[in-house]
Amino acid sequence: MTLTGLSSTPAVSPRSELVISAKGVSKRFDNHQAISDVSLDIERGRVFGLLGPNGAGKTTTVRLLNHVLTPDSGEIWLFGERLTAATADEVRSRIGVQTDTNIYESLTARENLHFWAELYGVPKQRRRARVDELLEIMELTDRASSLAGTFSKGMRQKLGVARAVVHRPELLFLDEPTTGLDPEASLKLIDFLRGMIATDHTTMVMCTHQLDGLETLCTDVGVLIDGRMAASGPMESLVSERWPGHWVTLELANSSLANLESAHRVLADQFPEANASITDAAALLVSMPQAEMTERLVATLVHHEFAIRALVPVQRSIRDVYFDVIGSARGGAV
Amino acid sequence: MNAQRVWTVAHKDLIEVLRNRQALFPLIVIPLGLAVVIPASLMDFITSPDTSDFAGALMAFMTQMPAGVAPTHLNPDQLLVYSFAVFFMAPLFLLIPSMSATVIGSSSFVGEKERRTIEGLLYTPITNRELVLGKILASLIPSIVVTWTAFVCYALLVNHYANPVVGEVFFPTASWVVLMLVMVPLIAFLTVALIVAVSGRATSSQAAQGTSFIVVMPVILLTVGQSAGLLLFDTKVTWVASGIMVFINVLVFLAVARIFNRERILTKLR
């Protein structure tokens, strides 16, 4: 664990391409250890999905990374600069945060966005255009002059995201950004966020339970359990560590158990380097060291007169990683 | 300190106050009572023929006044009305900004916490000093506006009731003008700063109002008592007192900003 306040710490991190670098961060509230020895690195333009069950410490982590909470130990670097009370306010001007906190209900949608734009120092000559642009993107133009207190949950959510991005932040924290949105609005929001990454190289940290939909956005994942980072890293690394090789699902025309077991024996005999199992859905799940083996595997089964109905490559998702990590942490209980 | 961000917070809070009828009501009623209803009733009474007891008390006060404070060319009846208008009502006026500020200021932070808007604000680049000053201004500006408005109403009232008796336009005096333009904002600032500090540490709006009253009342009584007495002196004394108040206000503001704690607001105020 690294301690804070080391006078020999350099003013600028040597790995300044990292937007976020946290080392051994811990935080305790009274008799509750909220965060324990959490470390993570996030590079520019990456989208980090911060996952975890309720109470795992996601919100506390976001608060620590914004220095609205001070870590008991460990150190945090943002944009290559050590995060301290002296640097936090300046660093925050480069960050946008959308949390589940409320918007100002007695202000209109436009006033809410102007308020945020002014706080973040968006120049006056660009402010109106930016606010109008975001109202248009979030489909709130018609309600721009309505008090936010009259908005539906979905509209509040869109306004919350809009205010977080009004100053085009380099780093964006999002907390369940699609909650309350209908499927169409969710897709539009994800497209908008994807556009921010493509055009502005925005780095994002996304706290979510919404494991479907947002996974296409996440390049990196961290899973917090009881305040500890149980797993973190790029999605492809996390997947390849857990499910090495190439995975396919084979569906046979004859899906009887006897036929599946027969095919399983053929594969075990002919491809000892591959692993096959029969799934609950009456199919064969096969893992192999290289994707190139697939053709030979199919040819062998056909040669043994098995009629193949479908061959589907298995795409491991953020959901699979999440449940695998949770399951491992709880001794396979999930 | 970024003045733009300070004003942005103050402006936002002012809009919220103006759109909140429950907050506006006491802002109108308090000055109306202190600056119009009470003085009008008393002046009506004092300018009527049967005021012997009250007039006796006023005369006793006037005999204690330093020489040269009141005009020497007035007869006793005129002096009675003059003294009442000029010296007796000042404490009530100095209460207006403090009481008005309590209405708005006590909910400045804890109100945002209750409405679950404070966390978003804490994530912004605004510094503690900017945030605290913005919150102070949001309470200070309406307090001063209502006090000055009440002062104009009071001046009209004095001239309506007292001019015919005194026989000349004598109000506002130079001391009153300095008191209103300089001392009122300074007293209001001190009060608001303390109330905002209480609001930053209270757990609910009701608790903030109750604690504000206890914390602020001794300060109000002390400053109001002393400031009202300034009317008995030359305006130079008022300027000196104002300088001292400016110094105290700066110290209090810096202390309030220093004890403002984002972590406490997020984790302790539920």
| Contact assignment for A68 to B115 by CB distance below 8 Å | no
- Length of chain B as a residue count: 270
What span, in angstroms and rounded, lies between the C-alpha atoms of A7 and A10? 8
CA distance B226 to B91: 9
Contact A69 B8 (CB under 8 A): no
The DSSP string of B115-160 is TT-HHHHHTSS--HHHHHHHHHHHHHHHHHHHHHHHHHHHHHHHHH
Contact B204, B212 (CB under 8 A): no
Mean pLDDT on A54-61: 90
Do residue A104 and residue B12 have CB atoms under 8 angstroms apart?
A: yes
ipTM over 0.90: no
Which residues of chain A lie closer than 8 angstroms to B5, CB-CB? 118-119, 121
Superfamily of domain A44-65+85-235: P-loop containing nucleotide triphosphate hydrolases (3.40.50.300)
Residue B69 banded pLDDT, cuts 50, 70, 90: low
Closest to A288 in 3D by CA, of A248, A258, A252: A248
CA distance B166 to B114: 54
Cβ–Cβ below 8 Å for A68 and B262: yes
Q: What dihedral angle (degrees, nearest 10) is formed by the CA atoms of A114, A120, A123, A124?
A: 20
Average pLDDT over every residue of B106-131:
87
Cα angle A129-A134-A137, degrees, rounded to a multiple of 5: 125
Question: Across the strands, what pairs with A310?
Answer: A251
Mean pLDDT, rounded, of chain A: 87
CA–CA distance, B58 with B68 (Å, rounded to integer): 17
Q: What is the pLDDT at residue B171?
A: 76
Largest CA distance in chain A: 74
At B14, list the tokens: 């002012």
Angle of helix A109-119 relative to helix B3-18, nearest 10 degrees? 160
The ranges assigned to domains in chain B are 3-62+72-267
Q: Which residues contact B80 (CB under 8 A, 6 or more apart)?
A: B46, B55, B58, B59, B62
Note whether A68 contacts B263, CB cutoff 8 Å: yes
| Closest CA relative to residue A40, chosen from A63, A17, A65 | A65
* More confident of the two residues A53 and A112: A112
Whether A150 and chain B come into contact, CB under 8 Å, resolves to no
Residue B133, beta-bridge partner list: none
Query: In this structure, which amino acid lies at residue A131?
Result: V
Most confident of B41-55, B180-194, B222-236: B180-194
The average pLDDT across B104-116 equals 80
What is the DSSP secondary-structure string of A155-206?
HHHHHHHHHHHTT--SEEEEESTTTT--HHHHHHHHHHHHHHHHHH--EEEE
Residues of chain A with CATH 3.30.70.100: 244-315
Q: Classify domain A244-315 by CATH architecture.
A: 2-Layer Sandwich (3.30)
pLDDT at residue number A83: 92
**Chain segment B126-185, per-residue pLDDT in tens:** 999 999 999 999 989 988 998 888 888 888 888 887 777 777 777 787 778 888 888 888
Q: Where in chain A is the domain with CATH 3.40.50.300?
A: 44-65+85-235
Q: What tens digit of pLDDT does each residue of B225-266 get?
A: 665 666 666 677 778 888 888 999 999 999 989 888 888 888
The rounded distance, in Å, linking the Cα atoms of A244 and B150 is: 79
Q: What are the CB-based long-range contacts (under 8 Å, 24+) for B54-62?
A: B55/B80, B58/B83, B58/B84, B58/B88, B61/B87
| A-chain residue closest to B19, CA distance | A106
Q: Can you name the residues that pair with A51 across neighbouring β-strands?
A: A223
- The string of pLDDT tens digits covering residues A28-54 is 988 889 999 999 999 999 999 999 888
A62 falls in which pLDDT band (50, 70, 90)?
very high
Placement of tokens 């004394």 in the chain: B237
Q: Which residue of B15, B115, B126 is in closest CB contact with A111? A: B15
